[in-house]
Homo-oligomer: A and B are copies of this chain.
Amino acid sequence: MSVLVLTEQEIRQVAELDESTLTQVEQAFTWLDQGLVSMPPVMHIEVDEQSDVDIKGAYVKGQAAFAVKMASGFFGNAEQGLPTGSGMVVLLSAETGFCQCVFLDNGYLTDLRTGLAGAVSARHLAPEHVDTVGVLGAGAQARYQVESLKLVRDFNRVLVSGRSAENQQRYATEMADRLGVDVAVADSAEQLVKESQVVVTTTPSRAPVLSADWIHPGLHITAMGSDLPGKQELDPVILGSADLVVCDSRAQCEIGGELQHGVRIGAIDAADVVELGRVTSGQHPGRQTSEQITVSDLTGTGVQDTAIALATYAAAVAKGCGTTV
């Protein structure tokens, strides 16, 4: 049995933030809605207080292979000048169980599929006309989320609010250059939310960073930072007052997403939350008026990892990338 091994550099050559990978990630949510996916709960290995690994994976009926993904968060890495997040993906044959491809992506594919899930949400939930996008957090996902959004909405201004003046400024300079739009540091989170039509929260917070007082008609919020019990970015009252709350996986969001807090305080009934696949499959219309307030609660699902791995494997094979061992 031969196995294709792809390095991060090779993967970056064949998998990018573009229309094609966006379509593939959108497909993942539709597969979930169609009942085609066998996806166990996330496996979590605790290393110490600031280090852990999440393992996700999913088989999609009819697909020739499926992925198992390891995503690590080692927050002590920053002191050594290393990225805190890394990881790798393995593709196994759905016909024989043998390993087919190893993606030594150091977390790049996770960054990609996570950013694109935000764009999939916004495609169906953000208002048609977006002038300003606000992003809370100034790390890697603040970049992937906003760059992905550009695929679905033609905004011309970004407001950023991060933890340090230095990070915010670096973000503004980098992203203005990359996207060709005006990127400014917000005076406050409040100003950022009030002046934006789309807000993306990308922080590792364990308490609300976004107040219910700042919400206004026509706003779409994508909350992607919370993916574990105890994490939280939104005042849960927001979930109760929104016109439409969507989540990637109800089972996961009830455990680790914003939904955990919304349900706990009784602001929302989990049964009223729509899974994103309902919307991507056309079974639910998504946003219906320009005045609605919408929220998307994203925790990241194994089926996204399978979707991006399948697409990347196909592209690598087509271009003859990688080493066969």
Q: Which residues of A are in contact with B by a Cβ distance under 8 Å?
A: 1, 3, 5, 7, 38-41, 43-47, 51, 53, 55, 57-59, 66, 68, 70, 72-74, 77, 80, 82, 85-88, 90, 92, 94-99, 102, 104, 106, 323, 325
Contacts and interface: CB of A to CB of B under 8 A. Distances in A.
B38 A7 contact: no
Given A38-B47, A46-B38, A57-B55, A87 B97 contact: yes
Given A102-B5, A104-B3, A68 B97 contact: no
A77 B92 CA distance: 14
Nearest to A85: B97
Which A-B residue pairs are the 3 nearest by beta carbons?
A72-B97, A74-B97, A43-B43
A57 B45 contact: yes
Contact of A68 (B3, B45, B77): B45
Contacts of A95: 74
A212 B245 CA distance: 57
A55 B77 CA distance: 26
A86 B97 contact: yes
Contacts of A90: 70, 88, 90
A136 to B, nearest CB: 25
B55 A44 contact: no
A98 B92 contact: no
A80 B68 CA distance: 25
A86 B80 CA distance: 37
B68 A325 contact: no
A235 B322 CA distance: 51
A302 to B, nearest CB: 8
Nearest to A84: B97
A313 to B, nearest CB: 16
Contacts of A44: 40
Nearest to A103: B99
Nearest to A51: B97
A323 B3 CA distance: 13
Nearest to A97: B72
B74 A96 contact: yes
A172 B111 CA distance: 53
A92 B72 contact: yes
28 contacts: A3-B104, A5-B5, A38-B45, A38-B46, A39-B45, A40-B43, A41-B43, A43-B43, A45-B59, A45-B68, A53-B57, A53-B97, A55-B55, A70-B92, A72-B92, A72-B98, A74-B95, A82-B96, A82-B98, A86-B99, A87-B97, A88-B99, A88-B102, A90-B90, A98-B106, A99-B106, A102-B102, A102-B104
